[in-house]
Copies of this chain bind each other. A is one copy, B any other.
Amino acid sequence: MRLKVKVLATETGGKLIVTLSKEDAEELGVKSGGRVKIKFNNNELTAVADVVTHTVRSGLIGMFDEVQQNLKVNDGDIVEVEAASFPKSLSYIRSKLNRRPLTYDEIYQIVKDVIDGNLSESEIATFITALETIGLDLEETYNLTVAMVNTGGQLKFDKQFVVDKHSIGGVPGDKTSLILVPIVAAGGLTIPKSSSRAITSASGTADRAEALMPVDLDLNEMQRVVNETNGCLVWGGALHLAPADDIFVQIEYPLQIDPLMLPSIMSKKRAVGSKFLIIDLPTGRGSKMKTIGNAELVAKDFIELGRRLGIQTQCAITYGEQPLGNSIGPNLEAKETLEVLMNKKSSPDLIDKVTHLAGMLFEMTGKNHGRNLALEILKNGKAEKKMREIIYQQGGDSEVKPEDLKIGEYGLEIKAEHDGLVLWIDNNLMVEIARAAGSPKDKEAGIVLHKKVGHIVKKGEPLFTIYATKTSKLKDAEKILETNPIGVGDRHEMLIGSVKETPKGKRAFILER
């Protein structure tokens, strides 16, 4: 069917969508949400058709910017339109719904159609839901990982020990990577570290690093920085290492499911050529792994998947029941990082974790007493020096001082209401408070913890301070304090919570990449 283009001069935010009149849609045999193939000169694409009532009359096809630009058509051009058959990958998704494991070719086609925009959001949601409810076996996980690698950018380093570190996330204020990268790079290993911005957290590693240096490097720039310094701290988004993952994450986020965690993490490690890998599995109340048993099962999968991918993988099961160090929020965390690297400050839990993980990498690559080596590199200033090299190579101010990092001018100090011991800190509420205060978009917003689990407090002593750049944001954060984020009491206090009616499903989902 030949239709005349009506340029809608409006975007969809990336989706390929056209609008059709009811008459033409019926004539084509296409329903709302169905697909049409559109040809113009030598260009051709498949778009989703929305059937509309009055803005496009019969004989016209409404084109959103994404389609119009792709096809290079102008208002009034005549295009050839036909009903497109559903993409083959849809039948593969269906076969997964019937509980048949997917082959590599099938998975590759699904991933490719996701990237090419040939699968609709609801079809991708079905794929993700099927993976969540039916599960993936390790072969499928492997194939999905490889398919994601093969549809994205890749790097290769001509170095002896290319290592990497990744956390499955969930711990607010986790600055481990920012300190581990310079330690292991200073120790002679190569660590091309990419990380994500916050998805549901108060600050992602890319957000923290960005407080100190530009992080939106492309693959070439990343390669150059790593060649110069043995390390880097860049945002994964501009690297396009596994572009399908960005689309998957958008759909997983509202649904609060994450069946693609392993392929998502491992594809990016494989893409940058890592050969030795530490996966951090923060465990316990308020983190992603609720039990050590669970963490061990996931560790098993990471190790075996790593083996198949040629990445020697070890996992660290770490205590994840409270924020790490004493700050949450990009600038606050960057400040704490600098202070620790400069040996100006002791954040004992942070240093313990960093040196354990760095030590594991040193031992995996043949060094003895890995943890001591890591501690030494931190203490003797080599880590700080390396960090400043990385900052310099990524285009930041290598002379940056902790006090250069601006913190929101409005503070709200929360004090203990009675004497006691800090029994628990609610990770999710801390994240909610920091986000309400403006983090991570507002780099100056966040939280400083004055007490942590096990500390003794007196009535009236400050527990934590919330920082914001606007009083309205501080008020938003204050509202959340109606639920108590820190438990202060006696060691013998037994009651965790009382359930007097059907609990409201609290939204506390950890999605980090």
**Which residues of A are at the interface with B, using a C-beta cutoff of 8 A?**
8-15, 19, 26-27, 29, 31-34, 50-56, 62, 64-65, 85-86, 88, 90-95, 97, 120-126, 128-130, 132-134, 250-251, 253-257, 435, 441, 504-505, 507
Q: Which of the listed residues A122, A134, A250 has the most CB atoms from chain B within 10 Å of its own CB?
A: A122
Task: Name A93's contact: one of B9, B130, B255 (CB within 8 Å).
Answer: B255
Q: Are A13 and B52 in contact (CB under 8 A)?
A: yes
Task: Name A129's contact: one of B29, B50, B97 (CB within 8 Å).
Answer: B97
With a CB–CB cut-off of 8 A, which chain B residues contact A128?
126
Q: Are A123 and B120 in contact (CB under 8 A)?
A: no
Q: Are A19 and B14 in contact (CB under 8 A)?
A: no
| Apart from A31-B250, A129-B133, 10 more pairs, CB < 8 Å | A9-B55, A10-B10, A10-B64, A11-B56, A13-B32, A94-B257, A94-B505, A122-B122, A122-B124, A122-B251
| Cβ-closest chain B residue relative to A11 | B52
Task: Name A94's contact: one of B85, B90, B122, B255 (CB within 8 Å).
Answer: B255
With A125-B125, A129-B133, A133-B134 known as contacts, the answer to whether A257 contacts B97 (CB < 8 A) is yes
In the bound assembly, the distance between CA atoms of A88 and B506 in angstroms comes to 10
In the bound assembly, the distance between CA atoms of A126 and B50 in angstroms comes to 21
Task: Name A32's contact: one of B14, B26, B55, B56 (CB within 8 Å).
Answer: B14
With a CB–CB cut-off of 8 A, which chain B residues contact A10?
8, 10, 19, 52, 55, 62, 64
With a CB–CB cut-off of 8 A, which chain B residues contact A129?
97, 125-126, 129-130, 133
With A34-B254, A255-B93, A441-B29 known as contacts, the answer to whether A51 contacts B13 (CB < 8 A) is yes
| Cβ-closest chain B residue relative to A85 | B507
In the bound assembly, the distance between CA atoms of A477 and B251 in angstroms comes to 39
Q: Are A13 and B8 in contact (CB under 8 A)?
A: no
Min CB gap A301→B, angstroms: 20
Min CB gap A84→B, angstroms: 11
Min CB gap A193→B, angstroms: 24
Min CB gap A452→B, angstroms: 27
With a CB–CB cut-off of 8 A, which chain B residues contact A121?
33, 120-122, 125
